[in-house]
A and B are shown apart, each in its own frame.
Chain A
């Protein structure tokens, strides 16, 4: 029973002798992974990527990346006899004549939407739990690069069928390129091989989409995973969890089963959407001609924030020495993207500079316990969300009967006011949640048992919180503050001198000050109640 059958043992030792895989596997198969549902969100992107590679390969068997003009003669009646590019015709062929072609095309497109959405939710999880902190800053940068590349991969991908909707996106791409001062014209002619739209852009986008960008994505995803593996996953605070251990299940068999199941869930989700929900019906859009444009033209969701920025922007331009700098295109194309991507990339380093925190962090923060970070994050989410919403302002106008101009004007104010309100509201909610934690730790939780005291007063019996929940709450860590007090000679410590240093000291105090310390006695002044943990039996408190 305990003996391994010879064919297996023989093969295994043959491979082991040559690859040295045994010790590697022994070390790594037992690797412990912490358990929290939000830790799986990044896997949505990983598995979607695998599905994208597989379905994408299928599509390349029939897709013709050519702008050669052809007359359609396929099975979709309303387009028979219409002139179009070979790319569009071959996409129609995949949709209507290749067996399973439409399903695979739809799965590919849904997987692309989920790929970026999975990355986004994963990134939000990492941000709000502070999992980007030392030693994981570089992996965070890789993540930001992945997200940026995913946008480029999406843009080059949905442009390929050369339909009227994606053509609108291509035209905007051209508009952005040509609006760049001095070199814009050259870049545009280089990209399109001459005057827009030219005859080259589809085949060039095809090379980028199926070769270059996925290659870089694959390499960066591998690096992302290896770094995660080597540095170990962060864990939420809880009983027995420290900065020096990982509490969870071993990779083999427990985590492997979970990850495998989650891949199947992702596959089911994408296959289900591909089967039941029509996506990118290019036959309805028609072939691209630069002369035509449709109402309600939007890019895929992950480009929506750029579309919204373009729609919100007033028509400003600078005319200087017979040259025009179209700010109405340049600013929306570069500024929001710059704010979001650059902001994400520098955040770990900015936070480190402000807090002076050089420690390693393997325990994740609960978002409420870093209220300034959480508020900044929500403010960014609101900024992005308003731009995103405004990308669909014509549908909002048509469906909710609001004038188109009104949506634009509201958006122009909201883009500045919204993030400020979100900051303030989130900050207050975080402090409120911290007070709640403090309250539970010092007063216990309501047990539901109502007791009548001899003198007639009714009270509810409070009991201590469950141990794991209490530990989770006690996992709150202080945020360091750079010392900014002047010494007795009136000289501030190193690092906070000069105007920038003073700003740093101020920011640090603002960022790190703990307004609701866990061991405080709450804000309600009921100091006469002893902490629950002080005695063995449940205390009766009100």
Chain B
């Protein structure tokens, strides 16, 4: 009652004791609070959408692309179905990661959706439009700028330490990937573009956890991208890299090439000319 201000003075004590008075007061208080919040709260989603797309046209184009290629699983309004999750709030970064790597549209709802060659309609422009549409639905992580993922601006040594501390448990020392439980796996990082690596970290696709900016700063992410791209691009100084995965392929080579070669050599050294028995 105290918080409702002037209205209290203008009504009589009898009316104040009316059974509906309490309800009316609560309704009034809620109305004021809600209205005040609506007026004062920052309009996040619309601001993000504007940043991501720039144009309202893109959102409309994106929606039609979405309806044509995505809606059968994710629902007509990206509300999700039993087959696929809702896309409200996943952000433009997620759209770019999934679509530009060929993972979405998915061919088959298996344990994990693999990277695959892009469909013909998937152009950078189409990805922009789709991303703008999904961003307009509920915000979410936006795509990094070219500067944020430029490997030449990162420190590969620092990135390597972060990479070893955070990524190689699943993705392996050299980003060769690895198996996970229930048919899931950490993919090989070699085909991933710097932008996709960044987006994967901020969106946490499939089995991957999210590494947001408070865990790993954008500069550190760029350092990691610098390490990943520098190491995967280097020529193996020791000869054929054997997949760079260490002792498994090395052991196979030692046995298949080494022991086979030595056995053949032994057979050759001890071979005798057979005496011809006939004639």
User: Interface residues of A: mostly helix, strand, loop or mixed?
Assistant: helix
Chain A residue nearest to B170 (CB atoms) is A295
Q: Is A261's CB under 8 angstroms from B269's CB?
A: yes
User: From residue A279, how far is it (CB to closest CB) to chain B in Å?
Assistant: 5
- In the complex the two chains form, is A277's CB within 8 Å of B253's CB? yes
Q: Does A266 contact B262, Cβ atoms closer than 8 Å?
A: yes
Given A79-B160, A278-B236, A291-B165 in contact, is the A265-B262 Cβ separation under 8 Å?
yes
For chain B, give the interface size range. Answer: 35 or more
Q: Is the CB of B183 within 8 A of A403?
A: yes
The answer to whether B255 touches A117, judged by C-beta atoms less than 8 angstroms apart, is yes
0/1 interface trace, chain B 253-279, chain A, CB 8 Å (1 if under): 111011101110111011110000100
Which of A36, A109, A117, A276 is B240 in contact with, Cβ under 8 Å? A276
In the complex, how many angstroms separate the beta carbon of A473 from the nearest chain B beta carbon?
16
B152 adjacent to chain A (CB < 8 Å): no
CA distance A291 to B257 in the complex (A): 36
- The verdict on A118 contacting chain B, using a C-beta distance below 8 Å, is yes
Q: Contact: B173 with A284, CB < 8 Å?
A: yes
- Answer whether A295 and B172 are a contact pair too, CB < 8 Å, given A80-B157, A117-B258: yes
Tell me, yes or no, whether A121 is within 8 Å of chain B by CB: yes
Residue-by-residue, is A285-305 near B (CB-CB < 8 Å gives 1, otherwise 0)?
110010111111111110010
Produce 1/0 per residue, A157-171, CB < 8 A to B: 000000011000000
A278 adjacent to B266 (CB under 8 Å): no
Asked if residues A40 and B248 are in contact (CB atoms below 8 Å), the reply is no
Among the 9-residue stretches A340-348, A393-401, A421-429, the one with 4 or more Cβ atoms under 8 Å from chain B is A393-401
CB–CB A269/B178 < 8 A: no
Closest residue of A by beta carbon distance from B272: A35
For B227, the chain A residues whose CB sits under 8 A away are 78
Chain B interface main SS type: helix
Q: Are A81 and B157 interface neighbours, CB within 8 A? A: yes
Please state if A397 and B185 are interface contacts (CB–CB under 8 Å).
yes
A279 touches B250 (CB 8 A): yes
Contact of B237 among A39, A81, A96, A467 (CB under 8 A): A96
Chain B window 209-247, contacts with chain A (Cβ cutoff 8 Å), 1 for yes, 0 for no: 000000000000000000100110010111111101111
Contact A295 B174, CB 8 Å, known A35-B272, A403-B181:
no
A292 touches B251 (CB 8 A): no
A405/B258 contact (C-beta < 8 A), A286-B164, A298-B247 known: no
Using Cβ atoms and an 8 Å threshold, which residues of chain B touch A301? 247, 250-251, 254-255
Q: Which residues of A contact B258 (CB under 8 A)?
A: 110, 113-114, 117, 269, 273
Is the pair A294, B173 in contact by a Cβ cutoff of 8 Å? yes
Say which residue of A273, A286, A296, A407 sits within 8 Å of B257 (CB atoms): A273
Interface residues of A in 396-416 (CB under 8 A from B): 396-398, 401-405, 407
Lowest 5 CB-CB distances: which A-B pairs, in order? Answer: A397-B179, A301-B251, A295-B178, A278-B238, A113-B254
